[in-house]
Structure 1
Amino acid sequence: MSSALVWQIVRAHNSFLKTGLHGHKFSAEPGNLYNKHSYKDSGLANANSVDVTLENDTLKVSTGRTKTANQPKKSKLVQVIKKNARRALSGIGKHVGSVRPDLKQGAQARAAALAKSLRVKKATK
């Protein structure tokens, strides 16, 4: 199925759809970096989706593959990044920039926020 057809089917009714104040629609689906309910940002409809998550103190970057979109197990490429935050952001920018340049800034922002949450606060005297 094409991405456009999948979006037409799931855009009105899916479990990830959240409605905010004043009718704004948000999405909590995996692969949606900006949490906007739109075709461009959708992780369900686009085969080339990008997701940045945190697992066991490491950053994981998942990208979709268009060649294997019909094979769910092979359709995601997962990279685990154990570098320091600055190098991780650089690597994520290069990787996501080659897959989806329009999502590069969002992926780096999400990774920076996750890396900041890992940082241990120094004790004050």
Structure 2
Amino acid sequence: MAAQTNVSNDLVWQITRNQNCFLVRRNTGGGSQFSRDPLNLVNKHSFKYAGYANTKAVGVQGTENGGVSVTTKKPSNPNQPGKNFVTVNYGPNAGTRKVYKGVADKTAQNGYRADLREEAVARVSAVRRSQKAKKDTPAQKPRGAKARQAAEKAQE
């Protein structure tokens, strides 16, 4: 039988909410607070999204080869945090719908964290969109007075 900790998620959050290594404070924008936690789906400093403070958490990150890595935290063994992470990698050729379904299923299984399903799928979408190559748009042709000026220069 594995030993359980007596520390609740709420207590961890109350102790670490003002100072932790993931906290980013900005003076602009009304003193906004953000989080660099890899298990934080929206990078917002709040208890709901804090992966380090919750026993069940989901993280989505892009990989170097253009794929997506989905990390979940197992609540079963809190005393060994190094063994609590399960990572599923989707390659760059994996279909977007397949990745969405995998993330949605991961958050819905056995009541894991259904409240994070929408944010997780949105994060996958944003990561996939950022990995796409930018299309080269041709320069727009000048119109009106600029077109006349260009035509006059071409005739000279």
- The two structures have a TM-score, normalised by structure 2, of 0.73
Q: How many residues align?
A: 125
Q: What are the ranges of 5 or more consecutive residues in structure 2 without an aligned counterpart?
A: 1-6, 139-156
Counterpart code for 1:29: D
Separation of aligned partners in 2, 1:25 and 1:123? 36
The offset of 1:41, in angstroms, is 1.1
Q: How far does the alpha carbon of each residue in 1:61-85 deviate from its partner, in whole angstroms, 9 at most, with x for none? A: 1111110222122111111112122
Distance 1:17 1:73 in 2: 21
Q: 1:12 aligns with which of 11, 18, 30?
A: 18
More strand by share: 1
Which of 27, 31, 34 is the matching residue for 1:23? 31
Q: Is the 8 A contact 1:63 1:76 kept in 2?
A: yes
User: How far does the alpha carbon of each residue in 1:66-121 deviate from its partner, in whole angstroms, 9 at most, with x for none?
Assistant: 10222122111111112122221121111122221000000001101111122234
1:89 and 2:100 matched: yes
CA contact (8 A) 1:43 1:49 kept: yes
Following TM superposition, where does structure 1 have runs of at least 4 consecutive aligned residues deviating by more than 6 angstroms? none
Q: Which residue of structure 2 aligns with residue 36 of structure 1?
A: 44
CA–CA distance in structure 1, aligned partners of residues 107 and 130 of structure 2: 21
Greater shift, 15-24 or 77-86, is seen at: 15-24
1:2 correspondence with 2:2: no
Deviations 1:8-65 (A, max 9, x none): 1110111222223212322221211122211111111001010001112221111111
TM score, norm. by length of structure 1: 0.89
Quote the Cα distance in structure 1 between the aligned partners of 2:128 and 2:55.
26
Correspondence for 2:4: none
Cα pair 1:97 1:103 within 8 Å, conserved = no
Query: What one-letter code is carried by the residue in structure 2 that aligns with 1:105?
Result: E
Larger radius of gyration: 2
Q: Which runs of 5+ in 1 are unaligned?
A: none
